[in-house]
Amino acid sequence: MSDLFIIGASGTKAYRTAMAAVSENIANAGTEGYSRRSVTTVESGSSTATMAFYTSRANFGGTDVKSVNRATDPYLDAAVRYTGMSLGSSTARLRWLTDSETALNDTETGVGQLMTTMYQNLDKLAASPNDKSLRVTVLDSISRVAQAFQQTSADLQQVSSGIATEAQSSVATINRSIDDLADINNSLLRATPGTSAYNQLLDSRDAALNTLSSNLNVDISFGTNGQAIVNYNGQSLVQGANATTVALTVNTDGTMALATSGGTALSAPSNGTLGGLFSSADKVTQRRTSLDALAQQFVTDVNNWHAQGTTDGGASGAALLSGTSAATMTALISDPTQLATKSSDGTANGNLLTVSTALRGNGSVEQGWSALIATQANLLSATKAEHTTAQNRSDQAVAAREAVSGVDLDVEAADLLRIQQAYSGCAKILQVAKETVDAIMQII
User: What is the spatial distance between Cα 44 and Cα 148, in angstroms, rounded to a whole number?
Assistant: 82
Is 281 within 8 Å of 254 (Cβ atoms)? yes
Residue-level length of the chain: 444
> Pick from 429, 424, 430, 423: which is nearest to 15 by CA?
423
Tell me the β-bridge partners of 236.
231
**pLDDT (mean) for 262-287:** 97
What count of other Cβ atoms lies within 10 Å of the Cβ of residue 161?
12
What count of other Cβ atoms lies within 10 Å of the Cβ of residue 413?
12
Is 250 within 8 Å of 278 (Cβ atoms)? no
Q: What is the pLDDT of residue 399?
A: 96
pTM score: 0.90
Q: What is the pLDDT of residue 57?
A: 55
Question: How far apart, in Å, do the first and last CA atoms of the chain sit?
Answer: 15
User: What is the spatial distance between Cα 310 and Cα 319, in angstroms, rounded to a whole number?
Assistant: 12
**pLDDT (mean) for 9-16:** 87
pLDDT tens column, 90-115:
999 999 999 999 999 999 999 999 99
Q: What is the pLDDT of residue 326?
A: 98
User: What is the spatial distance between Cα 151 and Cα 105, in angstroms, rounded to a whole number?
Assistant: 10
Is 106 within 8 Å of 113 (Cβ atoms)? yes
Task: State how far the alpha carbon of 78 is from the alpha carbons of 219, 285, 389, 437, in Å.
Answer: 11, 34, 18, 57
pLDDT tens column, 294-303:
999 999 999 9
Q: What is the pLDDT of residue 435?
A: 74
Report the range of poorest mean pLDDT among 2-11, 144-153, 182-191, 198-207: 2-11
pLDDT tens column, 49-93:
444 555 555 567 788 889 999 999 999 999 999 999 999 999 999
pLDDT tier, 206 (very low <50, low <70, confident <90, very high otherwise): very high
- Residue type (1 letter), 257: A
User: What is the spatial distance between Cα 128 and Cα 352, in angstroms, rounded to a whole number?
Assistant: 10
> 3-state DSSP call for residue 155?
helix
User: What is the spatial distance between Cα 138 and Cα 317, in angstroms, rounded to a whole number?
Assistant: 15
Q: What is the pLDDT of residue 45?
A: 66
pLDDT tens column, 17-40:
889 999 999 999 999 999 999 999
